[in-house]
């Protein structure tokens, strides 16, 4: 299950896709952090198919969590070499053209 939300930005619509089970947690390692307590990640729970549909409306997509990043990789949106890992939690951001 994914939690999905969208945010308006000067660069277009940001779609935020997060593994539901990591919401409310805080991860940090060295100078990197993922604060999953932030309102930024709060949204609607969705299955994979609905998530894929919503993703097509964005200009930028944030993926956080193993399942979310795996979805981005499976759709050829993310290259594994570009994934940031913070305490075993993967995160990637994609700018669509």
β-pair partners for 97: none
pLDDT digits (tens, 9 = 90+) for 42-94: 999 999 999 999 998 999 999 999 999 999 999 999 999 999 999 999 999 99
Report d(CA 65, CA 35) in Å as an integer.
12
Q: What is the pTM of this model?
A: 0.94
CATH at 25: 3.30.1860.10
Report d(CA 90, CA 59) in Å as an integer.
20
Structural domain harbouring 21: 2-95
- At 49 the pLDDT is 96
Report d(CA 2, CA 9) in Å as an integer.
22
- At 82 the pLDDT is 95
- At 76 the pLDDT is 94
Structurally, how many domains does the chain consist of?
1
- At 97 the pLDDT is 75
End-to-end CA distance of the chain: 27
φ/ψ bin of 11: left (φ > 0), alpha (ψ from -120 to 50), beta (otherwise): alpha
SS3 of residue 36 by DSSP: coil
Mean pLDDT of 13-25: 97
């Amino acid at each position: 299950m994914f939690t999905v939300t969208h945010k308006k930005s000067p660069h277009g619509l940001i779609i935020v896709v997060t593994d539901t089970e990591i919401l409310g947690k805080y991860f940090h390692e060295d100078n990197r952090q993922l604060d999953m307590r932030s309102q930024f990640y709060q949204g609607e729970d969705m299955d994979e198919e609905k998530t894929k549909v919503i993703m097509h409306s964005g200009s930028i997509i944030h993926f956080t969590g193993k399942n979310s990043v795996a979805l981005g990789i499976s759709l050829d949106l993310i290259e594994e070499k570009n994934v940031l890992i913070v305490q075993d939690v993967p995160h990637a951001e994609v700018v669509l053209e």
